[in-house]
A and B are shown apart, each in its own frame.
Chain A
Amino acid sequence: MEHDAMNLKDPNSMNKILGIVLRAGVVLSGVVIAIGTALFVANHSLDDTSSYLAYNPSSIPHGSFPVSLSSITSGLLSLDPFSIIALGFLVLLATPVARVALSLFLFAAERDRKFVYLTAAVLAILLFSILATPLIPLFNG
């Protein structure tokens, strides 16, 4: 009986998958951020913080660290600590999104149609605000 195969139609295994994904996301993000921090500390532990914390209100982005996917990608290839930390943050950011997305399957497995729709709505709003709003001037005050 105890096959323990991960069946997407069984609520119990869906709950397990949800737990595993959450844990993996959190651990992965923590490890990546720790690596980035260690690399930075190795070379800059005695630097003054002021140059890293300068905030420029008139430019977008406001700081001098990578925020676009292309600059983070090229930073990763040269093992830039700030790009590695940014990657860790993006993994962390993905965990709540994954949690909502997997809940959709969980409710589907429970054959709870109302909650499948409800969760789909939350997921749609979430993806819209993560992916689309940074591009809309109204939100970039």
Chain B
Amino acid sequence: MIVIEFLLTLFIASIAAGALGSIVGIGGGLIVIPILTLFLGVDIHYAIGASIVSIIATSSGAAATYVKDRITNLRIGMFLETATTTGAIIGAAIAAYLSATVLEAIFGTILIISLVPLVRKIGEEYPPRQELKGLAEKLNLRGDYEERDGRKIEYNATNPGKGLAGMLVAGLISGLLGIGSGTFKVLSMDLAMKLPIKVSTTTSNFMIGVTAAASAGIYFARGDVNPLITAPVALGILIGASIGTRLLVRAKNTAVRKIFALVLAGSAIEMILRALGF
């Protein structure tokens, strides 16, 4: 393949990945990795390096657009990020001793199982109001945001311990498999902490950038971040993320939830296919 064709293909795919990723709070690796390995014949290590680039670009690109609407809950994100970054470092350190195949199979299975509770609340516009108590009260883990029609949505987080445990696992998976594990982060905030879905996806968006930045140094120094791949991915994702963010603030919560469920099913299938050696 010639350079210009390669760059354009990857650029267009990345715009789509950035738009989808910024809506559902994932890094876009779901689209970028298979395009690179299956379609463009790129080595999996470069594909994972590109996924790191895509995660940081989605996170920062969305954040730069979100500033005005401020749905992201920085407090909840920062609280959970302590567990995610710790998990990511541990994961990166022990990755050499564990089989990626087994991990992918386990992670894929977890994602499939979590489809059940997610589908059960598929029509939920907002979660029922939770009581602010315990650790969540001590750390004031609550917030509000304004929908486009002017309604102010207030919420309290519940089960911060479970959320923290979920994030430790998400961090471990990130460190071990070199993926953003945004799906798992959104699941933890949605199912355990009972946050409104837009708060979960935008807060996950904040978190995946920080987690990916933590491991980016290692990938960059190793030479897994190839500039010919980085350039179209970063540019495409930044554009896609700003489009996706504008769509998200207008979208209905039930729509975001449905798109997330589809993405979750897609990630689960991708993980299991990877484990099977495709």
Contact = CB atoms under 8 A, between A and B. Distances in A.
Contacts of B215: 129
B232 A37 contact: yes
Nearest to A48: B2
Interface in B176-230: 206, 209-210, 212-218, 220-230
A101 B18 CA distance: 25
Contacts of B43: 53, 55
A30 B75 contact: no
B227 A25 contact: no
A72 to B, nearest CB: 10
A49 B223 contact: no
A92 B139 CA distance: 31
A62 B63 contact: no
A118 to B, nearest CB: 6
A32 B210 CA distance: 22
Contacts of B228: 40, 49, 52-53, 82
* Interface secondary structure of A, over-half rule: helix
A21 to B, nearest CB: 10
Contact of B213 (A82, A96, A128, A140): A96
Given A93-B216, A96-B60, A106 B238 contact: no
Interface stretch (B76-84, B124-132, B259-267): B76-84
Contacts, number: 203
B60 A61 contact: no
Given A22-B63, A22-B67, A49-B3, A60 B232 contact: no
B223 A60 contact: yes
A81 B42 CA distance: 21
Interface stretch (B86-94, B107-115, B150-158, B250-258): B86-94
A46 B68 CA distance: 42
B231 interface: yes
Nearest to B216: A93
A138 interface: yes
- Number of chain A interface residues as a range: 35 or more
A89 B227 CA distance: 9
A140 B218 contact: yes
B35 interface: no
B62 to A, nearest CB: 10
Contact of A130 (B4, B61, B214, B235): B214
B234 A93 contact: no
Given A37-B231, A96-B209, A99-B210, A118 B82 contact: yes
Interface of B: 1-4, 6-7, 42-43, 45-46, 53, 56-57, 59-61, 63-64, 67-68, 70, 74-75, 78-79, 81-82, 85-86, 88-89, 92-93, 95-96, 138-140, 206, 209-210, 212-218, 220-232, 234-235, 238
Interface of A: 15, 18-19, 22-23, 25-27, 29-30, 33-34, 36-37, 40-41, 44-49, 52-53, 55, 57, 60-63, 65, 67-68, 81-82, 85-86, 88-89, 92-93, 95-97, 99-100, 103, 106, 112, 114-115, 118-119, 121-122, 125-126, 128-131, 133-134, 138-141
